Structure 1
Amino acid sequence: MYKNKAHELTIKEFENIFNRLYELLCLFAHKYVNDLNLSKDIVQDVFIKVWEDKGVFCDEDKIEGLFYTAVKNKSLDFLRSKYAKDVKAYPLEDLETMQTENYFLSEVIIVETSNAIERALESLPSKWVEVMRLSIANYKNKEIAEEMNISVYTVKEYKKKAYRKLRKILG
C-alpha cells in the first residue's frame, strides 16, 4: 500500500487500521489497567492522537507495532498517575514488571495468538466450535456430551476433526 515512502494516512486507511486493531488493542490495554472501559478510553485516545497529529508512516508493517507501543505507554502513564496510585492501588512491583520489554512482548503475543485462534475457530462448523469452547473451559468429554445432548463418541469426533482443521489453519 505505502512502503518505503513517507505517507500520511487517508481517512479510509486510518479506518481500516482502526477496524483491524481496535479490539486487539483494547484487550492489550486491559492487561495493563484491568478495566475494560478504561482500556477502551486509552485506545480511543491513542487513535485520536495519531489522527490529530496526522501520523505519517513509511512502512505499513510497522504501524501495528507503533499502535501497540503507544497503547502500552498510555496505559503505563495512567498507572503512574496520581489517580491510579490513589484509587487503583497498583503495587510498585507490578508496575515495574509491566514496564519491561519482556512483559510487553509476551502480552502482544498472547493477544495476537488469541485473535488468531478465535479467527480459526470461527471457520469451523458451529457444533465443533461449541465442543471446543467447552473443552477450553475444562469441561470433560462426558460433561460436554451432556451439555450438548450428544454422545461422548460424537464429542471425541468433533474434537478430533476440529484439531485437525485448526492445525492446518494455524500451521
Structure 2
Amino acid sequence: MTIKEYKSLFDELYVSLCLLSNKYLEDLDVAKDVVQDVFLKIWEDKIEFENINNTKAYLYTSVKNKSLDYLKSKRYKSTDFLSARKLEKVETESFFLREVVVIEASSIVEKAINELPDKCAAIIRLSLKEYTVSEIADELGVSINTVKTQKKIAYKRLRPLLEEYYFLIFFVLNIFK
C-alpha cells in the first residue's frame, strides 16, 4: 500500500472508526488512540487488502477487538468501574454489527448531504437533529417558506443519491431508534 493509498484510507474511515471505538470506550480521546494504533499496525505490518470491503471489515473488527482489549486491561479496570453486564453487552456480535450498520448508514447519508448546496445541506442537517421548520428558519435567519422550499429541493436531490441504500437507511432509522 502506497502512502497515498494509506492516507486516503485513513481519511475515509478515521471518523467512523473513532465513533465505533467510542461506543465501546465512552472516551473519545482513548478511542482516537485505539484507531491510530490500528492504522499504525497495518502500516508497520504492510497489510494489503483485496478490496474496500475486506479493508473495512478488517479495520472495524480490529478496532472492536482493540477497544475490548482496552476495556479488559488492568489499567482501565483500576481507573474505571466496568460492570460485568456492560462488558458482556459490548462483547456481543449483535452490538458490534448494530454499531457498524449505524455508522455506515450515517456515513452514506452524510456523503449524500455533502453533495447538496450549502443552504440545503444546513437545513437537512438541522432537520435530522429534529429541529422544526420554524426553529430552522430562526437558526439560519431565513423565512419558513425558504426552509420548506430548500427541504423540497434537498429531498429531490437526495432521493437518487440514496436510492440504492433506501432499505439500509430505513432499517437503521426505524429499528435502531
TM-score tier by shorter-chain length is: 0.7 to 0.9
Distance between the aligned counterparts of 1:47 and 1:102, measured in 2?
24
Moved over 6 A (4+): none
1:118-170 deviations in Å (ceiling 9; x for gaps): 11111111111221122222221112222222221221111122122112111
Q: In the alignment, which of 64, 69, 74 is matched to residue 72 of structure 1?
A: 64
Q: Name the residue aligned to 1:6.
A: none
Residue 32 of structure 2 is aligned to residue 40 of structure 1:
yes
Q: Which has the larger radius of gyration?
A: 1
* Structure 2 residue identity aligned to 1:29: S
Q: Name the residue aligned to 2:82.
A: 90
Backbone CA RMSD of aligned residues = 1.7
1:13-46 deviations in Å (ceiling 9; x for gaps): 3333222222221111111111111111101111
Alignment CA distance shift 1:145-1:64 (3 Å): same
Distance between the aligned counterparts of 2:142 and 2:32, measured in 1?
40
Alignment CA distance shift 1:14-1:146 (3 Å): closer
1:64-123 deviations in Å (ceiling 9; x for gaps): 101110000000000111222232222221211111111111111111111111111111
Q: Name the residue aligned to 1:158.
A: 150
Deviates more, 1:97-106 or 1:128-137: 128-137
Q: Name the residue aligned to 1:148.
A: 140
Q: In the alignment, which of 16, 28, 47 is matched to residue 24 of structure 1?
A: 16
Q: Name the residue aligned to 2:106.
A: 114
Alignment CA distance shift 1:15-1:140 (3 Å): closer
Which segments of 5 or more consecutive residues in structure 1 lack a partner in the other structure? Answer: 1-8
1:12 Cα deviation from its structure 2 partner: 3.4
Give the TM-score, by structure 1 length.
Answer: 0.86
Distance between the aligned counterparts of 2:112 and 2:162, measured in 1?
7
**Percent identity over paired residues:** 45
* Structure 2 residue identity aligned to 1:161: I
* Structure 2 residue identity aligned to 1:111: I
Deviates more, 1:143-152 or 1:113-122: 143-152
1:56 Cα deviation from its structure 2 partner: 4.1
Distance between the aligned counterparts of 2:47 and 2:28, measured in 1?
26
Q: In the alignment, which of 136, 144, 159 is matched to residue 167 of structure 1?
A: 159
Q: How many residues align?
A: 163
* Structure 2 residue identity aligned to 1:87: T
